[in-house]
Structure 1
């Protein structure tokens, strides 16, 4: 009888140990998932705030700013639920962001013209802007796929980003072409202008009424003419070939007396 009771107690202890172990593993798995999700939300916040900090570099509409703010708002809300003891910091940031969103919604929407865009002065700034626009386009598509952006606004803002990317690409090619021409690298200069013209003609076929495209086509053609002219002037004049009449004149010219 005692032996049976011992076996029962041992079995109960084993079950208890197994149960505790299962519960502990479940807690550890849940904690790992919580940390992973919190890190993901932090990455979304950092990426979106980085794009927001660069919106002054290009004509940015109120719609874009609100889309980015709401993306940060959602991630802050989720992070606050996952952060445990650090939740207070996320909630404070969330309250500040809610105030900014309310202020934007209460004011008239701004939609600055893309035609006023000017390329940054340095190559480093241009490269940073190219990266920002690429991230912005990816964010727009991701939020649209989640159903968080009105299709009309999405089409309008994606077209704005595409137009800015085109302007940067064309402006950059023409700028490099001018620099190459100044350095007398006429082959490279002509190649870049030709590439810029091909890009412009392709876009012009789709949007024939875009004044930027028309203006840049004219500008590229003038630059190409300047390059061709400079290239011709840089080639040394070939020696003039004597023709048959010159030879006859020399043969029959009066002989000099010595």
Structure 2
């Protein structure tokens, strides 16, 4: 009798341990599921934010398709790992994205980088700079996963680099011109010199780029204007008297009063 009681207690204890282990495993899987869904949601939000800003600069249809496919993949994973209303929301958004991909699939649009003009609004410039940085990171990540062809990757990364260069140079020259207007000639000259250094480094690699040649001429002209304005602003040195004038003054006849 005692043996049966001990066996029953042992079996009950074993059952409790098994139930606890199973429960902990389910909780761990649920926590991992929530983390993964949150990660996919962050990917979706970031990619949609980048996609919404692509109209602010020349963006090819290849890059747009990379962004749409990234959103599609994240929505698929999030939909599979969700339940209830969240699952329905992800599935609905997935259908919308798939429809966009079908629409864009046969579109080939590669606008020229030379058509880009820097906005006058500093906030817009900051948005473009941040978007290009994120876009470049996304492009590399998708290429590393084998989702972007090497030729497309090289072409699109070069376009992003070119846009970043144009923004950097345009911004430096613009700030230098503003500093010159404020008569801050030292800062103005420093920024133009830095812009010229950047332009010459790039010109050595792409000597036939018309944008680089044009900006080199513009920066040189601005540097001449700064040097001229700085020279004009310097106080003129007092005219030095000749030694002969001092001697004449010393030995000239004194006036009688």
Give the structure-2-normalised TM-score. 0.95
Distance in 2 of aligned mates of 1:65 and 1:210: 26
Distance in 2 of aligned mates of 1:150 and 1:123: 35
User: CA-to-partner distance for each residue in 1:65-87, whole Å, 9 max, x for gaps?
Assistant: 00000000000000000111121
- The match for 1:116 is 115
Once the two structures are TM-superposed, the CA of residue 246 in structure 1 deviates from its matched residue by 4.9
User: CA-to-partner distance for each residue in 1:43-78, whole Å, 9 max, x for gaps?
Assistant: 000000000010011000000000000000000000
Deviates more, 1:118-127 or 1:199-208: 118-127
Distance in 2 of aligned mates of 1:121 and 1:113: 20
Once the two structures are TM-superposed, the CA of residue 130 in structure 1 deviates from its matched residue by 0.9
Cα gap change, 1:123 to 1:20, in 2 (>3 Å): same
- The match for 1:243 is 242
Once the two structures are TM-superposed, the CA of residue 110 in structure 1 deviates from its matched residue by 0.2
- The match for 1:94 is 94
| Pair 1:38 & 2:43 matched | no
Give the structure-1-normalised TM-score. 0.94
Which secondary structure state, in structure 2, belongs to the residue aligned with residue 106 of structure 1? Answer: coil
Alignment RMSD: 1.8
Once the two structures are TM-superposed, the CA of residue 247 in structure 1 deviates from its matched residue by 5.3
5+ residue gaps, structure 2: none
| Pair 1:193 & 2:169 matched | no
Distance in 1 of aligned mates of 2:173 and 2:2: 94
User: CA-to-partner distance for each residue in 1:79-115, whole Å, 9 max, x for gaps?
Assistant: 00011112111111111111111111133x0000000
- The match for 1:182 is 181
5+ residue gaps, structure 1: none
Cα gap change, 1:7 to 1:117, in 2 (>3 Å): same
